[in-house]
A and B are shown apart, each in its own frame.
Chain A
Amino acid sequence: MEWEAVIGLEIHAQLATKSKIFSGASTAFGAEPNTQACAVDLALPGTLPVFNAEALRMAVMFGVAIDAEIGHISVFDRKNYFYPDLPKGYQTSQLFHPIVGIGHIDIELEDGTTKRIGVTRAHLEEDAGKSLHEEFPSMTGIDLNRAGTPLLEIVSEPDMRSAEEAVAYVKKIHAIVTNLGICDGNMAEGSFRCDCNVSVRPKGEEKLGNRTESKNINSFRFIEKAIKGEIVRQIDLIEDGHTITQETRLYDANKDETRSMRSKEEANDYRYFPCPDLLPIVIDDEYVEQIRSCLPELPDARKARFLEQFKLSDYDAMVLSAYRELGGYFETVANTAGDAKLAANWVMGELSKHLNQNDTDITVSPVTAEMLGGLLLRIKDNTITGKIAKQVFEAMWAGDGNADEVIEAKGLKQVTDTGAIESLVDDVIAANQTQVDQYVNAEPEKRGKMIGFFMGKVMQASQGKANPGQVQGLLKQKLDALAN
């Protein structure tokens, strides 16, 4: 039987506010345990939450960016459950009147088509603290620094049909929230995590199968692997005559499989009700329009502009438009060098390679966009060869100055003096008689390829500094003269 997967995602994006959603404690990552948890976060008696204006602004920005309805009245509800890292005994969340209503985004599929994915809602809530089970033999340690950190939970419609579509959706949401500057998108630190709801049904069937939810997956690759594995697991079970239990599962990246965490039936009774400590939030049109009018350029719009303005390939435009910082960097390089294609190749090639290898963020790259643009200018005006340019890049990365300084200091200027190149060419021809004989005796149409050997030798002899065009011209001229 042919099966179809149905996937819906819940994404938790940590909002990039300085302070918590309901208190003035810091949200900075990595502090000593409990040094950023105040009386409100600890739910001490007599404290009251006060809502953070910036969290509201960021949530509305997201809503406007995905073309969603913004609720005029938004209400916080209490989601009741007991766990030691939730000191209040409830999570302040939104069930009935979320800030952001129905919206949508478009994802690009591998075959080049786009698909619209519905966003059911996005609501504000607070994060819980952290439980540390391993540190102590008989006790659990609780760190409440994260308690009260603002989260935007973005809930999709069950519109995705494959792991690839799900990843494309998550990447698009990731690109939107990071471009808006409302989330740092750091998945390793848990600022952006994803719950995957997966079910399968026979293709053509309307009715949805029982679904499972795999929680807190924190990398694009793991999302893809977890969903793929879960689809296979469910199909195998059904084909063996079993049924799927609706349950929460945990993805174990080490074993690359999901395992059962808890069954939802009993745990699901959260007894939501409006939070009496918080008054309704009223959002007027003027506020929303004001945010709409200052919305930064979003990935889709930037991609369209890159295609139009820089004539990039679809793939290059997509990669370079996904992140605001990367897009800005590329534009500066392209404008400085006056060559968008060359700029795209270097930003996506040499620069990205170095950033990844050194785990460096583009905003603190030792090679700035201006420096890279300056380097490309020197390729364009034939001061250096592309090969030497990589050496210059290494030196710039190591802090040896800008391109011109490095070229000057290391004497890397390209040799364009015909006399000097000619003597190198003559030396190479004289020293490689065997290859010259082969060339001379080869069919004329095969000689083009054979020139590569001599090219390599000459470039090596010049330490990469000879102008490759000139070398090739001279080699061809001289070798062909020998052949005829």
Chain B
Amino acid sequence: MSLDRTDVEKIAHLARLDIAEQDIQEYAENLTDILDLVDQMQAVDTTDIKPMAHPMDAIQRLRIDEVTEGNQRDQLQTVAPAVEAGLFQVPKVIE
């Protein structure tokens, strides 16, 4: 499987990545190489192997339902570029 310019542009758009026009070709080649590797792996016979959701052979630990985090707004908002009335401010989003 190989990716062309349009695929790269679409992926970049979905991931909100701003990529330079002259790099698109290189990205397309790199990503195609990765997919070629996937193709190689697809060739391995995995008939009796169960798909894994995670490389670690472990199960999820559960947390007891308790409120352990109090109000940390002031501290957490020190890293925000803009804050008003307790709200994080972002450029206007219009649906």
Contact indicator A135/B65 (Cβ below 8 Å): no
Partner of B65, one of A34, A52, A269: A52
Contact indicator A139/B89 (Cβ below 8 Å): yes
A29 at the interface (CB under 8 A from B): no
Partner of B67, one of A24, A84, A143: A24
Cross-chain pair count, CB within 8 angstroms: 130
Contact indicator B93/A131 (Cβ below 8 Å): yes
Question: Interface readout for A1-43 with B: 1 if CB under 8 Å, 0 if not?
Answer: 0000000000000000111000111100000111111110010
Closest to A38 in B: B69
Tell me whether chain A's interface is mostly helix, strand or loop, or mixed: loop
Output the least CB separation between A81 and chain B (Å). 9
A294 at the interface (CB under 8 A from B): no
Closest to B55 in A: A276
* Number of B residues, CB within 8 Å of A: 35
Tell me the residues in window 37-95 of chain B with beta carbons closer than 8 Å to chain A beta carbons.
Answer: 53-54, 56, 58-69, 71-73, 76-77, 82, 84-95
B1 at the interface (CB under 8 A from A): no
Contact indicator B88/A34 (Cβ below 8 Å): yes
Partner of B82, one of A50, A139, A276: A139
Partner of A140, one of B69, B72, B89: B89
The verdict on A141 contacting B59 (CB below 8 Å), with A25-B67, A34-B73, A38-B69 known, is no
Question: Interface readout for A132-173 with B: 1 if CB under 8 Å, 0 if not?
Answer: 110110111111100000000000000000000000000000
Q: In the complex, which residues of chain B have a beta carbon less than 8 angstroms from the beta carbon of A38?
A: 69, 72, 76
Partner of A282, one of B59, B64, B86: B59
Partner of A34, one of B16, B54, B62, B87: B87
Contact indicator A34/B77 (Cβ below 8 Å): yes
B20 at the interface (CB under 8 A from A): no
Q: In the complex, which residues of chain B have a beta carbon less than 8 angstroms from the beta carbon of A278?
A: 60
- Tell me, in angstroms, the Cα distance from A135 to B69 when the chains sit together: 28
Contact indicator A279/B60 (Cβ below 8 Å): yes
Output the least CB separation between B76 and chain A (Å). 6
Partner of B76, one of A39, A136, A279: A39
Contact indicator B53/A144 (Cβ below 8 Å): no
Q: In the complex, which residues of chain A have a beta carbon less than 8 angstroms from the beta carbon of B93?
A: 83-84, 131, 133, 140
Contact indicator A139/B90 (Cβ below 8 Å): yes
A82 at the interface (CB under 8 A from B): yes
The verdict on A37 contacting B67 (CB below 8 Å), with A83-B93, A279-B54, A281-B59 known, is no
The verdict on A32 contacting B92 (CB below 8 Å), with A26-B67, A279-B54, A282-B59 known, is no
Question: Interface readout for A256-293 with B: 1 if CB under 8 Å, 0 if not?
Answer: 00000110000001010010101111100000000000
A416 at the interface (CB under 8 A from B): no
Q: In the complex, which residues of chain A have a beta carbon less than 8 angstroms from the beta carbon of B66?
A: 18-19, 24
Contact indicator B84/A141 (Cβ below 8 Å): yes
Q: In the complex, which residues of chain A have a beta carbon less than 8 angstroms from the beta carbon of B14?
A: 80, 269, 271
Contact indicator B54/A274 (Cβ below 8 Å): yes
A97 at the interface (CB under 8 A from B): yes
A75 at the interface (CB under 8 A from B): yes
Q: In the complex, which residues of chain B have a beta carbon less than 8 angstroms from the beta carbon of A25?
A: 67, 69
Q: List 20 A-B contacts (CB under 8 A).
A: A18-B66, A24-B67, A26-B67, A32-B86, A34-B73, A34-B86, A36-B71, A38-B69, A42-B76, A44-B76, A50-B62, A51-B62, A53-B63, A56-B62, A84-B88, A139-B84, A139-B89, A140-B89, A140-B92, A142-B90
What 10 additional pairs, Cβ within 8 angstroms, besides A34-B77, A141-B84, A144-B88?
A19-B66, A24-B66, A24-B69, A25-B69, A33-B85, A38-B72, A55-B65, A97-B53, A139-B91, A279-B61
Using a CB–CB cutoff of 8 Å, the interface residues on chain B facing chain A are 14, 16, 53-54, 56, 58-69, 71-73, 76-77, 82, 84-95
Using a CB–CB cutoff of 8 Å, the interface residues on chain A facing chain B are 17-19, 23-26, 32-39, 42, 44, 50-56, 73, 75, 80, 82-84, 97, 131-133, 135-136, 138-144, 261-262, 269, 271, 274, 276, 278-282
